[in-house]
A = this chain, B = another copy of it.
Amino acid sequence: MSLKLTILGCHSATPRTFAHPTAQFLDIKNHSFLIDCGEGTQVQLRKYKIKFSRINHIFISHLHGDHFFGLVGLLSTFNLYNREQELHIYGPKGIKEIVTLQFKLSNSWTKYPLIFHELGSKKSELIFEDDKITVETIPLKHRVYTNGFLFKEKSPKELHLNMTAILKYPEIEICHYHNIKKGNDFISEKGTIINNDLLTTLPSKPICYAFCSDTIYDPEIVPIIKNVDLLYHESTFLKDKKETAKTTMHSTAEEAGMIAQQALVKTLILGHYSSRYRDLTRFQQEASAFFENTHLAEEGKVFEIFPAD
């Protein structure tokens, strides 16, 4: 059980040879999620040797080109590779029309089921759930309708077996493990009670990842992302362009640091850098003044979180 996030692109606006627009690949509880899909994402997936046929869910934050212009190309590639399994797309209203129009005009359609989940709510909502994880939207304030996404492991329903302790009691056979995991004490045939506390440990805390791009500085998201293990928050500008950040509805590195500080997250990742900046370490410096455990998104960089024991 761990979370692995690969940065495929972390720059804003136009794609350049060594600066690709937003795209991230998230591996969480055996799910392979793609988050945003700027132009060239499929090439980046290949470059970082990600088995992208495993992607079954794609989350698009908003309909600015640097977050979705690579989507229709990726969907076409799946088709060429004779994909058969379902693919789910979560994104703003309109995304279905964009994709279907292009397939219609190219006189083709996917051979695999393509299921659109169009989003329009301005409140956080649950958009995916299975027995292992949930995904909720994080409403963001930007120039167009935008959502971040909160990926959360579910709390395990069962306790962990403390095998060192259990093996001291030969009368506890494998058939009893299921009952002990549920929190019950062990009662032997002779009526001896062994307290559950002695036989189990608490399961590790579920891991959470919050993706927040693009957005103006907005403390209203803090309650939604409170205590997450990993927060990606856009920082298009440094503080020298604080006013530009406001008018374009983006954030500065300082503001990303402030959100991380307020939300008591464990780790902050910055990204969506404006092309005007050459030296990215200044982003880290400015955010670190508010939140120390700040890292820079870089193409190909992997952030991995293992559950605390």
- Footprint of B on A, CB under 8 Å? 13-17, 39-40, 42-43, 46-47, 63-65, 69-70, 72-73, 76-77, 80, 92, 94-95, 97-98, 101-102, 105-107, 143-144
A65, B69: Cβ atoms closer than 8 Å: no
Shortest Cβ distance from A18 into B: residue: B43
A63-B105, A65-B102 known; A46+B17 contact, CB < 8 A: yes
Sample (18) of A-B pairs whose CB atoms are under 8 Å apart? A14-B77, A14-B80, A16-B43, A16-B46, A17-B46, A39-B42, A39-B73, A40-B40, A40-B43, A63-B105, A64-B106, A65-B72, A65-B76, A69-B73, A69-B76, A92-B105, A98-B101, A106-B144
* Cβ distance A23 to chain B, nearest Cβ, rounded Å: 13
Copies in the complex: 2
> Bound state CA distance, A101 and B95, in angstroms?
10
* Cβ distance A194 to chain B, nearest Cβ, rounded Å: 59
* Cβ distance A33 to chain B, nearest Cβ, rounded Å: 21
Contact for A15 among B42, B92, B144, CB less than 8 A: B42
> Bound state CA distance, A40 and B69, in angstroms?
10
* Cβ distance A69 to chain B, nearest Cβ, rounded Å: 5
List of B residues within 8 angstroms of A14 by Cβ: 42, 73, 76-77, 80
List of B residues within 8 angstroms of A70 by Cβ: 39
Shortest Cβ distance from A39 into B: residue: B73
> Bound state CA distance, A39 and B38, in angstroms?
11
> Bound state CA distance, A295 and B98, in angstroms?
38
A16-B43, A17-B46 known; A102+B106 contact, CB < 8 A: no
* Cβ distance A195 to chain B, nearest Cβ, rounded Å: 59
> Bound state CA distance, A183 and B64, in angstroms?
59
A17, B77: Cβ atoms closer than 8 Å: no
B97, A101: Cβ atoms closer than 8 Å: yes
List of B residues within 8 angstroms of A64 by Cβ: 106
> Bound state CA distance, A101 and B96, in angstroms?
11
Shortest Cβ distance from A65 into B: residue: B76
List of B residues within 8 angstroms of A17 by Cβ: 43, 46-47
B69, A72: Cβ atoms closer than 8 Å: yes
In the A-B complex, the 4 residue pairs with the closest CB atoms = A94-B105, A14-B77, A39-B73, A65-B76
* Cβ distance A40 to chain B, nearest Cβ, rounded Å: 5
List of B residues within 8 angstroms of A77 by Cβ: 13-14
Shortest Cβ distance from A143 into B: residue: B107
> Bound state CA distance, A70 and B97, in angstroms?
18
> Bound state CA distance, A158 and B144, in angstroms?
57
Shortest Cβ distance from A62 into B: residue: B106
List of B residues within 8 angstroms of A97 by Cβ: 101, 105
List of B residues within 8 angstroms of A15 by Cβ: 40, 42-43, 73
List of B residues within 8 angstroms of A107 by Cβ: 143-144
* Cβ distance A183 to chain B, nearest Cβ, rounded Å: 51
> Bound state CA distance, A98 and B39, in angstroms?
16
